[in-house]
């Protein structure tokens, strides 16, 4: 299993495999990245995750330090680096990674049902029951 690599100010670093404690700290951030549409916010969150892993061996590599030292061109692959880190940690396997990468690129929308129901259930509407309807119509 090859570790993820990251370039910081022109120098390449191996990203250490996340230990459980680091993964536990990273997990809420990982979840928030998956639904992120803003590329700057996504990069910032990915840097937080990468920083947590890097700090296992390089205590100075805080998220602020990474942001101060990374060139903009070095942030273009942060999503792939982060996903590689998740696979390396054992949280998901390569198949799960491939599936998530495919969804991130835009998978087709789910198909619409062939015969969608147009029936309205009056019992599910608030303050509406069958006896009340009968009384209102006078039958």
The pTM of this model reads 0.66
Q: 65 exposed, middle or buried (CB, 10 Å; 0-12, 13-18, 19+)?
A: middle
What's the sign of the alpha-carbon dihedral 124, 130, 135, 139?
A: positive
Q: Which contacts of 37-42 are long-range, i.e. CB under 8 A and separated by 24 or more positions?
A: 42/78, 42/79
pLDDT tens digits for range 29-82: 988 887 788 989 999 999 999 999 999 999 999 999 999 999 999 999 898 898
pLDDT tens digits for range 72-118: 999 998 988 988 888 888 877 777 666 765 655 444 444 444 444 44
CA distances in angstroms from 42 to 30, 37, 82, listed in the order given: 10, 7, 11
**Residue 90: DSSP 8-state:** T
Q: Which of 73, 97, 96, 99 is nearest to 84 (CA)?
A: 97
In angstroms, rounded to a whole number, what is the distance separating the alpha carbons of residues 24 and 30?
Answer: 10
In angstroms, rounded to a whole number, what is the distance separating the alpha carbons of residues 105 and 107?
Answer: 7
């Amino acid at each position: 299993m090859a570790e993820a690599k990251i370039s910081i100010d022109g120098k390449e670093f191996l990203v250490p495999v996340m230990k459980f404690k680091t993964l536990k700290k990273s997990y809420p951030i990982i979840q928030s990245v998956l639904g992120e549409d803003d590329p700057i916010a996504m990069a910032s969150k990915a840097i937080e995750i990468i920083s947590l892993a890097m700090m296992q061996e390089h205590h100075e590599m805080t998220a602020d330090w990474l942001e101060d030292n990374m060139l903009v061109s070095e942030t273009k692959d942060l999503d792939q680096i982060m996903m590689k880190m998740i696979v390396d940690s054992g949280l998901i396997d390569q198949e799960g990674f491939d599936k998530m990468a495919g969804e991130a690129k835009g998978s087709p929308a789910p198909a619409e049902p062939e015969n969608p129901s147009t029936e309205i259930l009056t019992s599910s509407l608030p303050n509406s029951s069958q006896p009340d309807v009968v009384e209102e119509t006078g039958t």
